[in-house]
A = this chain, B = another copy of it.
């Protein structure tokens, strides 16, 4: 019998950083329980193609009911629930294998975009109620984070529509921000509080809140 499972993924450090907060979040969450569910934490490389392939393997192995991929967004001040994954790779910097693809599709011929299938507005409310600054975001960029988010949505759409999935961007850790003067950060414990509150809410919520959450531009 498979246990009911929540998959959370994090990334290796990249862009010259020694750490990646998403990696540390996932290492901490791995094996925790959320009610009837067990959290499986796993790592993905910051390498185009390999990241999406790694994700596909994890979904095959664990068949999670809910999957949340997490990535670092250095310079943001809040946890960011991503709403849209786009079928575009346009790398501002090289990935960890040295590749820097420009203006190609994540999946050839697939839809231009997918929307997250998690109840993001309810999750945001729960995370704010837990005291953790959280926003909704309409762009996950065009780097490996977006590729994984897109691949996650595409696999859901093409193979397992029961699974609900989304992506969370997190700020730098304070220990990273000491090398980025004038940039915000967030403590690992604060991030963990937010992620736990968000996942618990997602598991308990079927219909999302009907409240505003967009931006004028």
A residues with a Cβ closer than 8 A to B are 15, 71-74, 76-78, 83-84, 86, 88-93, 100, 102-103, 111-115, 128, 131-135, 137-143, 145, 169, 174-175, 177-178, 181-187, 189-190, 208, 210-217
Contact = CB atoms under 8 A, between A and B. Distances in A.
Interface of A is mostly: loop
Given A112-B115, A189-B189, A217-B145, A212 B181 contact: no
Count of identical protomers in the assembly: 4
A190 B187 CA distance: 7
Given A86-B113, A92-B212, A92-B214, 10 more contacts: A73-B216, A84-B86, A90-B212, A90-B214, A93-B216, A102-B210, A132-B178, A138-B139, A141-B217, A184-B184
B143 A216 contact: yes
Contacts of A71: 217
Contacts of A211: 102
B112 A77 contact: no
Nearest to A213: B90
B102 A212 contact: yes
Highest count of chain B CB atoms <10 Å: which of A139, A185, A187, A214: A214
Contacts of A92: 212-216
Nearest to A216: B143
Given A174-B190, A185-B77, A186-B187, A143 B100 contact: no
Given A138-B141, A139-B138, A178-B132, A91 B185 contact: no
Nearest to A80: B217
Contacts of A177: 77-78, 133
A138 to B, nearest CB: 4
B178 A133 contact: yes
Contacts of A169: 217
